Structure 1
Amino acid sequence: MARKSRKRQTVTLPHLHSETAGYIRLSVTGKGGDDSIENQKKVIEAWARENQHPISRWYIDAGWSGRTFYRPMFRELIADIERGEVDCVVVKDLSRLGRDHIAVGYYLEGFFPMNCVRFVSINDDFDTVNGLTDQSHPHGARIRIPIKNAFNEQVAVEIKQKVEATLQMKIDRGTFVGPRAPFGYQKSEANHDQLVPDPIASITVRKIFELAANGTGVTGIVRYLNEKGLPTPIQYARSNGLTGSFADGTDDWNSRSVKYILTNRTYTGMLIQGKEKRVVKGTHEPLVDVETFDRIQSEFKARSFNISPTPEASENVFKGKVICACCGGKMQRKRGTNHADWYFFTCISKNRLGADKCTGMYARGEDVLSAVYYQLKQYIDHHFITKDQYKQEIQGMDSIIEAASLKYEEATDFSMKQYEKYVMGEGSKEAIAAARPAKEQAEAELNRAIADKEAYEKQYQVFCKLLKASRKEVPLSEIIDCIERIVVDVDRKIMVKWTE
């Protein structure tokens, strides 16, 4: 009887690539060369012509590191794959996909195969079709690709170290390394690492220092700037087309922005940068001389410490939480007349902006404290939970999680079987797609059940802390995060808003 050949048969995957996507990534340190966006696109297009796979979609992440996979266009690519709109992804090389070898391995060996997506890395001569069907070197890619991924990750680490070293060298030389110039300055057109006075904003900054040097207080400076209609840093940024964290906010000057300018030594012509706060003097043109700046700081210090703080009474546990119902601004806590040992909260917007914008709310500190304790007890009475109720609720949630976990395992096993049949030529891509919704639904139900339990556990921990505070077993400072805001309205009506 003739022996049967043990040679493994080649399994040919069907080529049903209705949508072939080209993915391009340029790192935050990439400036061109072989990895430029244009060059990556040329390499991918050349492969597409040679293999008769026209690129129908492009996903380009410019300025994103390979160590993170939360890139906007990459996430869009993943979403399109999950919707079945893309079934072939082409990159110039594996480092463009990412530089985290664990995450890259997940997509190559898990996500792409599970979603029947062909993946091609041109310069690495890697194609998942060949990886599945070429039996001449069945383990070649499995050994070579993880090594390549680990190498790419190490390159990312070395690049980060070089960037940090270069940045520190610039800081030591007194080169400005910030993304934007401080208000009053701009980056020189000839050298973007050099600060020069802004022709408009510098006038405002110089005026602020002039007023402070002549004895005008912060509140008086704020009132002057608002009355004159001088542009705030936010307004000036908008007028110059800059976006970012200052794209939103108030259009009025306030004490915080004025104090920031008056205490920023950058305006004396020096730079203080880096984690070690490296100081380099004489790096750019000053907007105020050092003597005037130091005199202003001395006056600030004298005003701040002319009242000797008392123990517990001086602690403002509600700092930033007490809000004026009229203007929505944060109220300041001040000491009573003749430095008496009592405090009150007041809104200074009336003096700063005028009575037409705020009538100026007021509340005694002891009234705020009493209102917090009273409304805390009301909150506890309304949300009271016994230990037995908590344990019973947790047991019920554990049962739901166990059932959801079993359902997810069954859906995953069924989906994997459909994929295995497809690889062996016994199944279809449609069967895999049909199994996917049940798996996704089961996974969503499991995640929701786990999240519900975690949220309930956290809620109970907060309740226990609030209960102790209501009994004065712990200070209010330990539950301050549970208070969203304390609103002071007309007739000194005080309402506490608790965090959800």
Structure 2
Amino acid sequence: MRAYSYSRYSSEMQRQGGSIDRQQTLARNWCEEHNVELAEAFADEAVSGFHGDNLATGALSMFIARVKTGEIERGSYLLLENLDRLTRLSAWEASGLLQDLVKLGIVVITLRPEMRFDHTSDALDLLKAILHMDNAHKESARKSELGEREWAKRFARARENKHHIGNRVSNWLTLVRPDGRYYVNEHAFAVGRIFELCLQGLGSTAISQALNAEGYRTFNKGKRWGTTAVLSILQNRAAIGELAPKDGGEPIQGYFTPVVDVATFDAAQAKITERRTGKITKQSAEFNIWQKLVYCGVCGSRMHIIQRTKFRYLTCANRRYGQCEGAKNVRLDESEDVFLLMLRELHALHFVLPDPKRISQELTAAEGRLQAEQKKHAVWVRKVEDHPEVEAYHDLVVKGNAQVKAMKSEVERLTMELAGSSDKLTLAETRTKIDMADVDTRRRANAFLHRLGVRVYIADGYLVLQRDEARAMFAVDKNRVGCLGLEGKPGEIPDLDAANSIAKGVKTLLAKSGGGFVYRGDLTTPNGRGTRRNTSQRDIG
């Protein structure tokens, strides 16, 4: 059976300590002692257990989601330093969470003190857990109340004479004593760059990748920028010099030194809102890659997924209710092959394929870290040779061996990834590069096409529109996929007859030897049918 560790600490003030390392070391020691494989370590850094943030959006929520989907097997161990790390909610809510985990088949192990909770636990075990979690909740509530009183005093002074509120402010600000004023530090350059990239149209993922590639230091011990940090900065009004008190009072203008002006900040918020219109939030393990993109070419209604015996299909929503007679079902696996080809036709493959430039930069950095670690390791080897009686030197050599091995694996992985990335891929090669079973990949690709303004109308073929222009026609014939690029003027969208006529032309070319210039590849799963002919007439636009 496999084990998973969960570690957590609550506040930014604890970030400089070794809390996560200590908790994970305890978990590793337990696994070694009990001969259990430690499959993965989950951690929430600076995430509240008192307010349940870790259960709502943190690593704990991801663990539970993976248990529910079956990715993490029943009977697996969840290792905690103590029940405080799991949650500091009220005893009623906390005990419910513990019981829910056990009902999902998880064996919960606490290491300090060592306790076990599973389907064999009795009432006494549950009572011990409730008492422990109740004490933890009451302690957190007491600290929270004291903290609220202290912060209320600080905010009152800040409103009265702009007195400083202490060091717990945004990372690009530094409190300078004794004058008690805040000044921007070197991190302000990263903040400015984040807003600059946002206004260029980049999303949080692309911005974090750019920051990592350009070498901007993170604000904490983390080695890489992530999307959460980027979004947090973009939405933090301290960037325009504003203090937003946590007591619910009016913001204090001009309290900090601004990094960007108000116009830039407002423009960034508009960009974030604009991108969210295409964001898909469904968390299903089988994410519909066509969601809100595909429409019936006959009646114009949206198409949805249905199950028919062995296969799944895209079907017209109106047809399900007898209101669209001309529509036909389309095999979902066929449509997903067309989807991949559509990404390539719209020059959007880069969004889901590895970026060669980024990989090259990561490889260079990894090689540098490996060389540095090898030099350090060589020093400890010489120390052992000179002083074999010192046990600490032997331990450092063993630790160094492990680090060098891990870094070599990282260099090898990046080297292979770099060698495998290309913008010129066949459909078969594209399938091997893009993991269509990965939920995040499917969600990203779908959201990206939304932002491009893509719509697809299915009749005899797949008519691809981008905003108000017809871009391409895909058609399937005898398990072969063809594509014809369209260069219509804005607003000139083919009606149903015209679209079917174009699709028929693509199929005629596909029937020729080699498939002509329209051939793009063969279906993953042959079905011998392709899209069907429809007879009704209606404007597709």
**If the TM-score is normalised by the length of the shorter chain, which range does it land in?**
0.3 to 0.5
Report the TM-score, using the length of structure 2 for normalisation: 0.33
- Choose 1 or 2 for highest CA Rg: 1
More helix by share: 1
